[in-house]
Structure formats: C-alpha cells, structure tokens
Amino acid sequence: SFISVIKVIDNMLKMLKSNGELVILIKPQFEAEPKFAKKGVVRDKQVHKRVLLDVIHQLEKKKLYLSGLTYSPIMGPKGNMEFLAYFKRSAQKEIDVQKNIENVVNQAHKELE
C-alpha cells in the first residue's frame, strides 16, 4: 500500500458488515507528516507512537475500536517499521490505548533495530 489508511477507510467501511472486524497494516511513512519521513523512512520512536495514536483516534471516530496491536516482524524495504492493528465495530473491554502503543513501539524498536 502506498496511501494513508485514513484516506481509504470510508471505502473499506462500506464493505464491512455491522459486526465486522479489520486488521490494518499501519505504515508510519504514509501516516506521518512528510517532515518526519526522511527519504520515505520513519525511524523516530515518538513519531511511531504519535502516528499510531492518531490513526486509532481517527478510526474511533468511525466507530472502529482497537482490539489488538502488534508490530510486523517484517520491515519495509527501506527499513520502515510497520504495525498491525485489529479493530472491531464494537468496543468490548476498555483497552489502555496509550499503554498498548507504548509497549508495542518499545518492543518493536528493541527487536527490530
């Protein structure tokens, strides 16, 4: 994919059933402001955290709720870290989004750097 998930989510939602679930590959290089993606690569841990929080909040506005988050063990061709987020149409139990992001990004940087 070469586009922000935020730009395509409305079309995805048109195809999603009312009880649907989505696994979304979040690529920080397409979600972050261009000034943070030097030569198409985002390496800054804080930018990763900010991007994930922003995407999750944007999807909450669309009534999609985070149910799981992890990092991809496969880095992009230029070395970009990417993240997999699991969303449901219904919020089941309260997830501490901030803590979840913190843990996943820290683990990704520890394992992949």
- Kindly report the pTM of this predicted structure: 0.91
Measured N-to-C along each axis, helices 97-112 and 45-61 cross at an angle, to the nearest 10 degrees, of 140
Per-residue pLDDT of the chain (113 residues; tens, 9 = 90+): 678 999 999 999 999 998 899 999 999 999 998 888 878 889 999 999 999 999 999 999 999 999 999 999 999 888 999 999 999 988 666 789 999 999 999 999 999 98
d(CA 89, CA 76): 29
- Indicate the CATH number of 5-112 among 3.40.50.970, 3.40.50.150, 3.40.50.1820, 3.40.50.300: 3.40.50.150
Query: Parallel, antiparallel, or unpaired for β 21-26 and 65-71?
Result: unpaired
Q: Quick one: how far is CA 1 from the chain centroid?
A: 13
